[in-house]
Amino acid sequence: MKRLAVSLIVLAFFASLVAAPSYDSVIRVGSDQNPTTMDPAMYQDLASAQVMRNVFETLVAYDADVKQIHPLLAESWEVSPDLKEWTFKLRKGVRFQKGKFQDGREVTAEDVKYSFERAITISPMVRLYMVDHVEVLDRYTVKVVLKYPYAPFLTVLTDVGAAIVPKEECEGWKDQFTLHPVGTGPFKMVEWVKDSHMVFERNEDYWGERPYLKQIIYKFIPDKSVLTMALLSGEVDITSDVLDQDIPKLNANPNVQAMAVGGCNVYAVYMNSMKGPTTDKRVREAFFRGIDIEQLVKVIFPNGTGIAAYGPIPPGSWAYNPNVKSFYTGYDPEKAKQLLKEAGYDGKPVKMTIYTPEDPNRRKAAVIIQSMLKKVGFEIEVQSLEWGSFTAVTSKADADAYTIGWTWYPDPEFFIFYMFHSSRKGTYGNGGGYNNPEVDRLIELGESSVDQEQRTQYYRKAEELIMKDLYYFPLWHKLVVNGVNKKVRGYKPSPDMMIRLYAPGTNVWVEK
């Protein structure tokens, strides 16, 4: 009994050391990417999606683990047996933030109809391409009718690209809405200095649980190693996407920690299927045969935060195939040389340009690939471009090859459809112009089935065909690693690389 009493006293002592959450803390988030827009319909990049989640909300939302979908602006929903009609009951009493053209009015079903129709009309990503039309059934009930059965529709609606926006503000500001964003979210944007920082303040009229954070400041520092130094010096409290080489620096500092979670991502080289040397399958196979992917990944991730990839579906997806390596075309440099001779490159190199964005890992990978392939007969130029120029070149099949990074939700649809369905030619996802009718058919079967096991088999078969076509050279899957000051409470990294400060089950604060 005496020992138990002592234990209780010790527990009470340590409990007293953990401060209670406060409502007056400020958090500073360091990011290596600049947002390009604050208009949900227009965004195409992770950095924009991340900051927009402070201001805008969707009908449903993922938690920080990106496993469970929770009600948000919709409190419930029903779907017809044929997966074509989705009916949502809206939460009553939710109000938009006050803006220039409306004074914080209530959100209704008409706003859902307006927001979806607007996104369908102007979104460069055409995220709601599967929607046929939207019907307002009453003030708080809306039905979304799809063009065809589409199983992952609820997941699509978690994306901030499907956020609910007020018509008055969108039409009042027109293309300036991005500078005056108004939504229903827990924070309001109060300052945006492009290429420098953004400031968000708590929405005191927010309908949900009150956020602990009073203010969020994003600082944009394009160099990831400089970003790590900013964390170590106390300039920021959380950093995005820590480089593998910087992990030891974090581990050596008692005030910060590297927080990691398995990522739902894949990095790869996408080859051009419409013009240039890679239209010859023998050249593409020589590309595969000339690269030792295991060695490449060891060089880039010496601290083990990345693993070699052998297909486009990542381990974080429920459709991941543990046997994917069995249909991967492996390293064989002598075979590569022979293939290039057969393709007519006897004595002359295959000249290609690989484009990369300003991502140090992808730039480094391109240089390693350049070196490895030189030994088998390629002469590769590496071009590194800022993000806007990079996507402009790559989405139009103007690159011989480019390095692509793709992170999204665990449903395989987001890794197979967006990168390999022929309807996505001309977008960053399918910038190589890939077109295989049988892959299209399998994707469409996967979309229309309600049975997850059956869907898994369709997507895995599509993945096998994609790897046999040899246009897509997988590089790696990596852990999502955030650098976090130990004063930050209630935070955990998300597999989709979003830094979620407020989400279902998450309400972050900073201890003083």
Share of the chain above pLDDT 90, in %: 85
Give the whole-angstrom CA distance, residue 84 versus residue 347.
Answer: 57
pTM (2 d.p.):
0.85
* pLDDT of 17 above 60: no
Element of type H or E holding 483: strand 480-485
What integer is the mean pLDDT of 188-201? Answer: 97
Angle at the Cα of 505 from the Cα atoms of 504 and 511, rounded to 5 degrees: 120
CA distance 153 to 145: 11
d(C-alpha 217, C-alpha 29), whole Å: 6
The pLDDT tens digits of the residues spanning 451-510 come to: 999 999 999 999 999 999 999 999 999 999 999 999 999 999 999 999 999 999 999 999
Mean pLDDT score, 384-397: 87
pLDDT level of residue 65 (50, 70, 90 thresholds): very high
Mean pLDDT of the chain: 93
Residue type, 169: E
Judged against a pLDDT cut of 90, whether residue 5 lies above it is answered with: no
pLDDT category at 147 given cuts 50, 70, 90 is very high
pLDDT at 387: 79
∠ CA 263-320-412 to the nearest 5 degrees? 80
Residue 124 has pLDDT above 90, yes or no: no
Residue 239 CA to residue 125 CA, distance in Å, equals: 27
Identify the CA nearest to 101 among candidates 192, 177, 206. Answer: 177
**pLDDT for the residue numbered 2:** 43
Sign of CA dihedral 343, 344, 349, 352: negative
User: Over 80: is that where the pLDDT of 301 sits?
Assistant: yes
Give the Cβ contact number of residue 23 at 10 Å: 11
Give one DSSP letter per residue of 64-119, joined into a string: TTSS-EEESSEEEEEE-TTS-EEEEEEPTT-BPPP-SS-SSPBP-HHHHHHHHHHH
All structural domains of the chain, each given as residue ranges with its CATH number in brackets, are 25-255+486-510 (3.40.190.10), 265-479 (3.10.105.10)
- 286's enclosing H/E stretch is helix 281-289
Q: Which of 497, 505, 503, 35 is nearest to 239 (CA)?
A: 497
pLDDT in tens, 168-180: 999 999 999 999 9
Q: How confident is the model at residue 18 (pLDDT cuts 50, 70, 90)?
A: low
The span from the CA of 24 to the CA of 62, in Å, is 26
The structure tokens 């022979």 sit at: 338
